[in-house]
Structure 1
Amino acid sequence: MQRILSMVLGLALSLGLATGCATTKRMNVGRTAAALLISDQQEEQLGKQVKTELETKEKIKYVEDPAVLEYVRSVSTPILQAANRDRANVKWKVSVIDDPKMVNAFATPGGYLYVYTGLLLAAENEAELAGVMGHEAAHVVGRHSAQAMMLQYGEQAVIEAALGKNANTVAQLAAGLAGTGAGLAFSRGNETEADELGARYTSAAGYDPRGLVTFFQKLAAKEGQTPGVLKWLSTHPPSADRVNHLNGFISKNGLTGTNVGADRLAPIKQRLRK
């Protein structure tokens, strides 16, 4: 049974990777297969183990400033509430990693969302920050991390990791996410779905859904000027087709919003620079 489901998952993701324009039906096949192979409880265990690995082996340092933490969580809360309408059983945990040179954010199975201070410093407004967080939340909703892990490490390795029997897979994943190796490779179909869902979530939270587009464009303009800093761009390449698709999706679905709270980001940047 598991072998058949793995074949279905692999077919769905390979089609998305090959075409770059996977249909909703095709993406839902991959999501359903991942859900059947890895339960919500196993995803939670994976996320918890990755968090431990990040803290103990990768030595990530969290921001402890209450004002910064409160700010990031206040931006993320309405976005994650919107995300929970599509996947209600996710219990989100938001952390801020202290690394001003890393323009990045990522989410792991189980709803663990990590935001680097470099992302806060790079964002020009709150809508851009919200766009990135909405995109990452959408990866969790779509079970993209579970799908990518099974394709990269194999179904059995991921299941054993969830059961605490495969520390090597967890260590590899944590190393990649921390920026010391290759992170999860999402298919183009997964990225398209995360763009679309993320736009919906940020708009539902009151933010301009084109914040992700402007952030893409800003990082692309800096590419080559600041090597090693634009980690998020390297794992989420904003091709012209992708940007055009997202703009078209936003217009077609009448998604709107504003740069809510624009005056709140500036003092947070000042605190981080100190």
Structure 2
Amino acid sequence: MQRILSVVLGLTLATGLTAGCTKQRVQAEKAIARTLISDEQEEDLGKQVKQELETKEKIKYVQDPSIVDYVRTLSSPVLRQATKDRPGVKWKINVIDDPKMVNAFATPGGYLYVYTGLILAADTEAELVGVMAHEAGHVVGRHSARAMVNQMGIQTVTAAALGQNPSAVGQIAAQLVGGGTMLAHGRSEEIEADEYGARYSSGAGYDPRGLITFFEKLQKQQGDTPGFMKWLSTHPANKDRIANIQKIISQNNLRGKNNAPGGLPAIKQKLGGK
């Protein structure tokens, strides 16, 4: 394993230095994650993190099946788009009951977590779909696995995937719940996830500008609502990034008619929102 790692890292470094650009570096990092961490290992990691979130971090899931089914139904056409880019991922959607946390995150293996605070903050289904599509993009791009390798090292991550390092899994879970940086993504990863998100939203029939309007809303409200800061702290929505999403939509002629509240108001009412 160590010898393979040395060879892959050497090729990656050479590629990055020769190309001298972010895109080449991202592609090289993907090659590392794909070569050293299998889909099965990512699935095992995601499963262990989920167990840790439930047993140690005591996260509370929404129990109302109508709310959970609503979120999963919304995500279904998005995940069909994502599966085209990364076949074999067994997507799992979980809704966490925390109205003060405006957040969503994804872990290796296709585990997507949506906080009720995010649902309450959205005004249209396109906004909610846009965020979930963005998070699906992180899974497709293997961003979480790459972040783990970068921060913890390949040996620690592979040991955790094999169930041989429970402390590492616990650290990951604690960081996620605490809004930490264990799975925080860099600028290039966020831009890539934005592109995936816009494409998947459009392919699912939703207005790809939903992610833009959600970003803009968070920027305006973060000063008054502390919970909004959690999502912005790991997903910085600056003007350049918003402009880049608009550029992606325009260049790829992305379209999507659905930009209505749909069934969202009824779900928000069930959650106690206005």
TM-score range relative to shorter protein:
over 0.9
| Residue of structure 1 equivalent to 2:6 | 3
Does residue 155 in structure 1 map to residue 154 in structure 2?
A: yes
Query: For the structure 1 residues 46 and 9, does the alpha-carbon distance in structure 2 shift closer, same or farther, using more than 3 Å as the test?
Result: farther
Distance 2:55 2:135 in 1: 24
Give the conservation status (yes or no) of the 8 Å contact 1:44–1:109: yes
- Counterpart CA distance in 2 for 1:187 and 1:268 is 33
Tell which deviates more after alignment, 186-195 or 223-232: 223-232
CA drift at 1:185: 2.1
Question: Aligned residues: percent identity?
Answer: 57
Partner residue of 2:166? 167
Q: Is the 8 A contact 1:31 1:142 kept in 2?
A: yes
> Which position in structure 2 is the counterpart of 1:215?
214
SS of 2:190's equivalent in the other structure is helix
Q: Hey, what does 2:65 align to over in structure 1?
A: 66
Cα-to-partner distance string for 1:191-214 (whole Å, 9 max, x where unaligned): 111000111001000000011111
Does the CA contact (< 8 Å) of 2:205 and 2:257 recur in 1?
yes
Partner residue of 1:92?
91
Aligned residue for 1:79, secondary structure, equals: helix
The change in CA–CA distance for 1:97 and 1:14 in structure 2 (over 3 A counts) is farther
Q: What 5-or-longer segments of structure 1 have no aligned partner?
A: none
- After TM superposition, give the deviation of residue 6 of structure 1 in Å: 4.1
How big is the alpha-carbon RMSD for the aligned residues of Structure 1 and Structure 2?
Answer: 2.2
SS at 1:237's partner residue?
Answer: coil
Letter in 2 for 1:2: L
**Structure 1 residue matching 2:46: 3-state secondary structure:** helix
- Return 5+ residue gaps in structure 2 as ranges: none
CA contact (8 A) 2:102 2:227 kept: no
Matched pairs, number:
270
Question: In 2, distance between residues paired with 1:174 and 1:10?
Answer: 31
**Quick check: 1:120 aligned with 2:123?**
no
Evaluate the alpha carbon distance shift between residue 14 and residue 136 of structure 1 in structure 2; reply closer, same or farther with a 3 A threshold.
farther
Structure 1 residues 260, 220: closer, same or farther in 2, change over 3 A?
closer
Helix, strand or coil at the partner of 1:81 = helix
Mapped pair 1:246 → 2:245: yes
Query: Corresponding residue for 1:31?
Result: 30
Q: Paired residue for 2:78? A: 79
Equivalent residue runs for 1:163-242 within 5 Å: 163-179=162-178, 181-242=180-241
Could you list the per-position Cα deviations for residues 96-142 of structure 1 after superposition, in whole angstroms to 9, with x for gaps in the alignment? Answer: 00000000001100000110000000001000000000000000001
1:163 is aligned with what amino acid? L
2:47 is aligned to: 48
Q: 2-side partners of 1:266 and 1:89: how far apart? A: 34
TM-score by length of 2: 0.92
Partners of 1:231 and 1:106 in 2: how far apart?
11
The alpha-carbon deviation at position 179 of structure 1 amounts to 2.2
Cα distance change, pair 232–4 in 1 and its aligned pair in 2 (3 A): farther
Instruction: State the TM-score, normalizing by the size of structure 1.
Output: 0.92
Opposite residue 206 of structure 1, the aligned amino acid is G
Q: Look up the match of 2:134.
A: 135
Q: After superposition, what is the alpha-carbon deviation per residue over 1:10-31, rounded to whole angstroms, capped at 9, x for unaligned? A: 788999xx97xx33x5433221
2-structure distance, mates of 1:74, 1:228 = 26
Match of 1:262 in 2: 261
User: Partners in 2 of 1:112 and 1:178 — Cα distance?
Assistant: 14
What is the deviation of 1:260? 5.1
Amino acid at match of 1:3: S
SS at match of 2:263: helix
